[in-house]
Amino acid sequence: MSIQLGLERIKRLQSLLPLYTRPTIHIAGTNGKGSVAAIVEAIFRKCGYTTGRFTSPHLLTSRDSIVLEGEAVSLNVFQRASDRTIKVNNSNNVNASPFELLTATALLVFEEAQVDIVVLEVGVGGRMDATNIVPSKQLLVCAMTRVDLDHQELLGRSVTAISEEKAGIAKEGITMIVALQKHEQVYGSIERVVRMLGGYTKKAREVAKRSWDEALDGSLPLPFSIRPFQPPPPQPIRFTSSSGEVLTLFPLGGDHQLQNLSLALELVDHVRDLGLPWGRITNLGVATGIAAVEWPGRLDWVPPNVSFGEPALQISFPLLVDGAHNMAGIISLVNYIDSLALPSPRTFIISLSRSPLKDFREMMKRLVRRGDRVALVPFSSVVGMEWVKPLTNDNMKDLVQDLTDEMNVFQGSTLLECLEWCECQRSDIVVATGSLYLVADLYKLRATSVLPTFGYVSIL
C-alpha cells in the first residue's frame, strides 16, 4: 500500500467517531513542520495549557506521533483509541489507510483527554491530507513552513503547484501565517489559494539573534569542541511580540531553526491576540517554552562513550544525527556543518528512501566532498509504512562514487557494522543522515533510549 490522499474515507470515519471539538493549530509546509509544532506545543504547555500534538512520520513507534503534555501517549490510551478506531473502520467497511487510522486515533485521544489546544502537523501536502478533516470552527490559525520540492509524484512538479496543494488547508475566516520562503513565487501561490478559500495570510516576523547576556542568560557556556566534546551552545534570541520583547535561549541548532522559531512565535502571538481563553500566554511562558523545546532526530547530538547494540559498542566520537531527506534539508544540514568548521576528512553514515523524483545525486553532491568517508546502509523496515523502501547500497554507492574517485566508501549490511567502521577510521565526528528512518534505527540500537521528554523509554 502506498500513500493514499483523499478526504472521503477520513470524513466517513470521523462521522462515526465522537465529534472533534479541540481548538487546533494546523501546520503545513515541506520542511520544518515538526519543529514548529514542537516549539508551539512546548510554549503552550509552559504557559499552563494542556496540550496535544500530532506529527508524522513517527520515530520509534506509531504512538510517538501522538503526544500528550509533552510525552508520547501511554500504551493503554493509545491501544484503546486505536482499537476503537479500527473497529469502527472495519465494521463499516470504511477502508481507511494506515495514516487515516492514525490521524483519527490521534483526534480521538485528544478529544477524550479534553486538551486545551492541539498542534496538528500535515502528513503529505495539505488539501487532500487526512489532517484536513478538522472543521474551520475548531481552527485557531494555520501555518505554512518553507515550501520546496518533495513528494512531487503526489503534489506536483513545481514549487508553485506544491505550495497551492499545501495551502489547501486554508479555511474561511482563518489566518494562515507564512514563513520566510526561499522561492518568491510561493507567496503568490499561497495567497491565491487562501483568498479563494476565504482566509487571510500574514508573513511571520523574523526572530533576531543577539549577543549572550550573562545577567539574563547565565554564565557564558564553553564553545563547541570536538575533544573534549562540547555541543554547540543554545542560540540567544530576541522577538518582539504583541505584548513586548521576548529574550531567551533557543536550544535547536541551525539558522533554519530560527526561521521555524519565527513562524512558531507568530502563531502563538496570533492566538494570544484572539483574547480569552488565551490570556495565560505570557512572555515569560513563551520564553520558558522556547528554552525547553526538544525535537529528536534533527541536528541532534549523541555524545561520545554512548553504547550501541548487543554486545555493546561504545563509540569514541560524537554523533550528529539529522533526518534530512530532501534537498532543502540537506542544504540546511550542510550549512550547519560548515558553521562548525569540522576537520577533514569528514565521516558520514547515509541511508536514503526510494523516491523516483528526488535528485539524490545532487543531494549527495551538496553533502559529501573530496576525501570524505561514507558508510552506506539501508534502513530497516518501517512498521505500518510498508511502502517505504530504502535504496540499496549499490544504488547509493553509484550516487557518491560519481562525485570523486578519492572517496572512502564502506557498504554496511547493518548499522552496527557502520558504527564499527567509523571507529576503525578514527573519526572525529560522524554525521548520520539521509532519512528519518535511519535516525530511528540509531535510537533503537542505543542500549538505553535518550528521549525521556517524549516518553520513548516506555516505548522501547
Provide the whole-model pTM: 0.93
Identify the bridge partners of residue 142 per DSSP, sorted by sequence position. Answer: 26, 176
Distance separating alpha carbons of residues 318 and 335, to the nearest angstrom: 18
Q: Kindly state the cell numbers that stand for 205.
A: 516576523
Cβ neighbours around 146 below 10 Å, total: 23
Q: Going residue by residue through the chain, which has 460 residues, state the pLDDT in tens, using 9 for 90 and above.
A: 456 778 999 999 999 999 999 999 999 998 899 999 999 999 999 999 999 999 988 888 888 999 999 999 999 999 999 999 999 999 999 999 999 999 999 999 999 999 999 999 999 888 889 999 999 999 999 999 999 876 566 666 688 888 998 999 999 999 999 999 988 898 999 999 999 999 999 999 999 999 999 999 999 999 999 999 999 999 999 999 888 899 999 999 999 999 999 999 999 999 999 998 999 999 999 999 999 999 999 999 999 999 998 888 999 999 999 999 888 899 999 999 999 998 888 999 999 988 776 788 888 889 998 889 999 999 988 776 677 788 888 888 888 776 656 678 899 999 999 999 999 999 899 999 999 999 999 999 985 544 434 443 333 3
Strands of the 430-433 sheet, one edge to the other = 300-302, 319-321, 430-433, 347-350, 373-376, 408-411
Q: Where does residue 424 rank: exposed (0-12), middle (13-18), buried (19+ CB within 10 A)?
A: exposed
Instruction: Say how many CA atoms lie within 13 Å of 27 toward its Cβ.
Output: 30
* CATH superfamily to which 8-205+251-284 belongs: Mur-like, catalytic domain (3.40.1190.10)
Distance separating alpha carbons of residues 84 and 104, to the nearest angstrom: 10
Strands of the 71-72 sheet, one edge to the other = 71-72, 66-68, 51-54, 117-121, 24-28, 139-144, 175-178, 200-203
CA distance to 51, 110, 167, 197, per residue, from 142 (Å) = 17, 18, 9, 13
Fold of 300-459: Protein-Tyrosine Phosphatase; Chain A (3.90.190)
Q: Kindly state the cell numbers that stand for 259.
A: 526561521
Distance separating alpha carbons of residues 261 and 268, to the nearest angstrom: 11
Distance separating alpha carbons of residues 427 and 95, to the nearest angstrom: 49
Domain ranges of the chain: 8-205+251-284, 300-459
Buried b (16+ CB within 10 A) or exposed e, 326-362: bbbbbbbbbebbeeeebeebbbbbbbbbebeebebee
Q: What is the amino acid identity at position 448?
A: T
Q: Are 377 and 90 in contact (CB under 8 A)?
A: no
